[in-house]
Chain A
Amino acid sequence: DIQMTQSPSSLSASVGDRVTITCRASQSISSYLNWYQQKPGKAPKLLIYAASSLQSGVPSRFSGSGSGTDFTLTISSLQPEDFATYYCQQSYSTPGTFGPGTKVDIK
């Protein structure tokens, strides 16, 4: 199975900050990488698919980049509603493993 890691595991930031989360795959997955946001008690929500494609309805302050084994999710200007946990997921092979998550909370 492909293993996914994320860093950091948590971070504290302020509204307006630029936030970057990194995801790394244990082998090359080309651009088969998705990002999800999850708020407490809620289902995950798709933000980015194919490493850099913004899902319809997702604010443009979210962006994704990378290919191969290293990927990045960037929030250009953190908003109050962005405090949540973020997960990457590879869809290169079954099982579609998720990263352990990065919790973004208020500084």
Chain B
Amino acid sequence: EVQLVESGGGLVQPGGSLRLSCAASGFTFSSYEMNWVRQAPGKGLEWVSYISSSGSTIYYADSVKGRFTISRDNAKNSLYLQMNSLRAEDTAVYYCARESTGYSYGSPLNYFDYWGQGTLVTVSS
């Protein structure tokens, strides 16, 4: 059974730092691209960051670029999100999500097929 379990959330002051972890099991972690997606209280979903299976390709949303760092340890089946210079607007539930590839008329298309339960990050003084 595929499982993704986030941890590391909590209350942090503005300007502070936090490191989120996502422990993966039930699949070959090193073969999959991974993402972080967040959801502010009562709001919709916002993609945050992507990392390729090897870790060689990384993308960030403009809202977190320069402040957040995504990484992974394939030997430990773990995904991480280092969050620095946190702001009130970063308050959200953070989900890790596995990215898989399907095909339509021979073209690859990606989607998030498994999600963790989420970890709440609250930025407040």
Contacts and interface: CB of A to CB of B under 8 A. Distances in A.
Q: Size range of the interface on B?
A: 20 to 34
Interface in B64-86: none
Interface of B: 35, 37, 44-47, 50, 59, 61-62, 95, 102-105, 107, 109-113, 115-118
A63 interface: no
Given A43-B95, A50-B103, A87-B45, 19 more contacts: A31-B104, A31-B105, A34-B111, A38-B45, A43-B117, A44-B45, A44-B115, A46-B112, A46-B113, A49-B109, A49-B113, A50-B109, A50-B111, A53-B102, A89-B112, A95-B47, A97-B47, A98-B44, A100-B44
Q: Size range of the interface on A?
A: 20 to 34
A32 B116 CA distance: 23
A84 B45 CA distance: 14
B45 A94 contact: no
A31 B109 contact: yes
